[in-house]
Amino acid sequence: MVSMNLHKPNLLPRGLLFGALTVLGAAIDLWSKEQTFRLKGLPGEQEPTWWIENLRGGYAGIETAINQGALFGLGQGYGWLFALVSIVAITGMILWLFVGKACESLWLTITMGLIAGGILGNLYDRLNMHGLPGPFAGGVRDWVLLRYRSGTDEYTWPNFNIADALLVAGAILLGIYSFLYPTHDGNERKVATDKSVATDANSI
């Protein structure tokens, strides 16, 4: 009886890709935080610096802020819990990718690399490795400011950072993957089984 094995990618290149995206994403996030806080100081020390300002009232700029919660300021005061969840999440991702073999998907490898980079960038801050004093200790450094004015109304998006952007981008990619390939793994196993059965039948 003859069996057929589908080609699977080497895990080492996927591991290197995941690691590179994780390290690069976290490095860019931490560098941008460090430079911005060095330039603008702690929250409240300087007025926002606007990059884009037009006649219709749209703004984009930088303003230092400290977030003691999660994405978009949710869960204020539970930074320790989010730090713990971050560690568990990264561990789970690594196991899923390289033990569960999800890294056989290039899309998932890239997606998880972006998410891991975002998690590490904010985890660095939650563990107070930035060394900010007093009430800012253990807070995540945010600096991107988006604001829109329409007449007398003003809308300000919660300040965020590169790590947050990586997390959102990863979540969007994961959602697209789930929509495009809802039964990808199951179909792959079925194709492999069908091909093996067909080959065995022909060899009798």
d(CA 121, CA 28): 9
- Which residue range(s) make up the domain with 16? 11-191
Mean per-residue pLDDT for 150-173? Answer: 90
Asked if 73 and 158 count as a contact pair (C-beta separation under 8 A), the reply is yes
Task: Note whether residue 204 is domain-resident.
Answer: no
pLDDT at 2: 40
* pLDDT tens readout for residues 14-26: 999 999 999 999 9
Buried b (16+ CB within 10 A) or exposed e, 88-100: eebeebbeebeee
Element (H, E) at 119: helix 106-126
Evaluate whether residue 201 is within a structural domain.
Answer: no
The pLDDT, as a whole number, for residue 190 is 41
| H-helix or E-strand spanning residue 96 | helix 79-98
Instruction: Please confirm, yes or no, whether 29 is among the known catalytic residues.
Output: no
| Domain membership flag for residue 6 | no
| Cβ–Cβ < 8 Å for 80, 138 | yes
Is 118 within the bounds of a domain?
Answer: yes
pLDDT of 184 strictly over 80: no
pLDDT reading at 197 higher than 80: no
What's the full length of the chain, in residues? 204
Where residue 63 falls among pLDDT bands split at 50, 70, 90? very high
**Tokens at 164, concatenated:** 């947050």
| Identity of the residue numbered 135 | P
Question: In a 3-state reduction of DSSP, which class is residue 5?
Answer: coil
1 is a domain residue? no
Catalytic annotation, pick one of 29, 125, 164, 185: 164
Distance (Å, rounded) from C-alpha 40 to C-alpha 132? Answer: 14
- Between CA 86 and CA 73 the distance in angstroms is 16
- Establish if 5 belongs to a structural domain: no
**What is residue 1's predicted lDDT score, i.e. its pLDDT?**
42
Report if residue 200 sits inside a domain: no
The residue that leads in pLDDT, 3 or 92, is 92
At 166, the pLDDT band (50, 70, 90 cuts) reads very high
Say if 2 falls within a structural domain. no
Q: Quote the number of domains for the chain.
A: 1
Q: Is residue 142 flagged as an active site residue?
A: yes
Catalytic residue among 142, 153, 185, 194: 142
Quote the mean pLDDT of the chain: 83
Q: Give the integer Cα–Cα distance in Å for 78 and 71.
A: 12
